[in-house]
Structure 1
Amino acid sequence: MRDPLAEPSDLIRSVSRALRVLEAVGRAPKGLTVKQIARRCELTVATTYHLVRTLAYEGYVSRREDGTYVVGLEIADRFRELVVAFRGPAAVGDVLRRAAVDTGYSHLIGRFVGERIAVTALAEGARSPRLDDVVPGFDDAAHATALGKALLATLGVDQRLRFLKDHGMRAYTTATLITPEAFETDVAAGDRRGLQLEVGQFRGGVATAALVVTADRDLERRMAVACVLPAAEMMASARIVRTRLQSVARALAEVYAADLG
């Protein structure tokens, strides 16, 4: 939700309204009519019509034969650009793909973007359960994944509690930690073992393990790497997973250090 107190004095209303229209259409995969968009965005039909026509001309929304609008192909292009920007140096992808091939497990990188946690790169492994909702982009399940725990562990206690309060602690499974107290205990245990992990907290039968790649003073330069594996394999080989992840983290740290020059 936008903070009205943070609204810039030079806000361009037409741009703001166009983005609200785009967000409304994006949240409705079945499409919306101009009147439906107007109601959801609290705009007049005439204003909405002009905004939708402009967005359609630019390719950001598309009109279907039944008169409804859905997101356009330009959104896909912007998403690909976002993924490239998130990932960083091309060698990052090489490191992740090599790790996925060597272990058979999917590997992913996450970092802070603004005040949120985002998955910024991903390489899928043949032995890992497929998680269709784990893709590059913002992660709303940080409290239920090892990747999120590893990054949140770099914050102070007060910062961490504020993050959990702001983003909530949705129960993805019956094993999901849904109280700050339980989360703090879990993160502390992860710090002691040198590996943040979760088993069945995000998806039943699936486990993730993660550790920090860089713990820079700058929040947005902090990164973590994680792997995804069947829960049964995590219980049997946590130490091996930690050793392999440490190797991947060192390789990634070298890549990012070389990129910063």
Structure 2
Amino acid sequence: MATASQPAAPTLIGSVQRALRLLEAVGSHEDGAPAKQLAREAGLPLPTAYHLLRTLTHEGYLRREKGVFVLGDAVARLVGGGAVQNRRTKVEDSLARWRDVIGVPVYFAIYREGEIELVSVADTPANPAVEEWANFKETGHAHAIGQCLLSQLDPKSRQDHLDRHPVESITPYTVRNRRAFLDRLEGLGRMEPLVERQEYALGTVCAAIPITAGSTAATMAISLPLHQQERLLPAVEWLRCEIGRLFSSLAFSISI
């Protein structure tokens, strides 16, 4: 059985190599090129080129328009996937740098498709991030990240979120009801840092800075143990002053 299957591998690899050469040939022509020209540039027999071009078109990697082949949407998705990973890496590097400078855990989150999404966290064993003991997405009213993101939403979107994830106390310090929570958000100044003390986790204080890019709500946040709470406001104020320089890196994450 093994002997019979061995010849298939080099044949498959060869087909992939030939398909990639065709994609490269198509990519070198902004307005596309016909099959004969692509076969010549890829160094392939015309029947082989026709077969691979049909396959690549069927899979969405190419499109045929007015007798020429151009790159398809599937290629854009491949490129986009690499770009997303690159953006995510840049965000993680930025958070790690500021974690080391400030000496606190640093968080980055966005509000996407009606939910709070924690994109990245940078912490260390000496300065660990807050443990998620209550579902993070469902308790946005109780933690600084969620409060900061919800404060950036329009009233209708905010009400929709709270309909799906009702306000409830999870510690003795959590805001008691929806009205009190909405009053708090409405009392915030534009782009004002939001501070939360033990509302999500006992023994922890947090602060979040709003970041808005177009219609997307985002936030950076830090956390500290309660016994170090005197460091919280200076740290978040320092971070807020640096937000302009940070934003060039953080903006990459908006589309992650």
TM-score by length of 2: 0.58
Residues 257/230 of structure 1: CA separation in 2 closer, same or farther (3 Å cut): closer
Q: Does 1:231 align with 2:231?
A: no
Asked if the contact 1:104–1:126 (Cα under 8 Å) also holds between the matched residues in 2, the reply is: no
- Contact 2:213 2:251 (8 Å CA) reproduced: no
CA distance in 1, matches of 2:144, 2:253: 26
> Which residue of 197, 203, 206 corresponds with 1:199?
197
Maintained 8 Å contact 1:101/1:125:
no
Whole-angstrom distance in 1 between the partners of 2:87 and 2:248: 13
SS in 2 for 1:97: helix
- Assess, with a 3 A threshold, how the Cα gap between structure 1 residues 128 and 139 changes in structure 2: closer, same or farther: farther
How far is the alpha carbon of 1:160 from its aligned partner? 1.4
- Who is 1:133 aligned against? 132
Deviations 1:225-248 (A, max 9, x none): 0001123433x2444123222145
Q: TM-score, normalised by structure 1?
A: 0.57
Q: Which residue of 2 aligns with 1:243?
A: 237
CA 1:97–1:259 in 2, change beyond 3 Å: closer, same or farther?
Answer: closer
Change in Cα spacing, 1:95 to 1:227, as seen in structure 2 (3 Å) is same
Q: Deviations over 1:82-122 (max 9, x none)?
A: 9x969944221111111111222111111112111110100
2:176 is aligned to 178
Structure 1 stretches of 5 or more lacking a match? 1-81
- Native 8 Å contact 1:214 1:253 kept in 2: no
Aligned residues: 173
CA contact (8 A) 1:150 1:224 kept: yes
Relative to 1, partners in 2 of residues 1:100 and 1:259: Cα closer, same or farther, differing over 3 Å?
closer
Give the letter for the 2:143 counterpart: T
Residues 102 and 192 from structure 1, CA distance in 2 versus in 1: closer, same or farther, beyond 3 angstroms? same
Larger radius of gyration: 2
Structure 2: how far apart are the matches of 1:169 and 1:248? 33
Structure 1's 189 and 116: CA in aligned 2 closer, same or farther, altered over 3 A? same
- Percent identity over the alignment? 21
Change (3 A) 1:250 1:165: same
1:169 corresponding residue in structure 2: 167
RMSD over aligned CA atoms reads 3.2
Report runs of 4+ in structure 1 exceeding 6 Å deviation: none
Mark the runs of 5 or more structure 2 residues left unpaired by the alignment.
Answer: 1-80
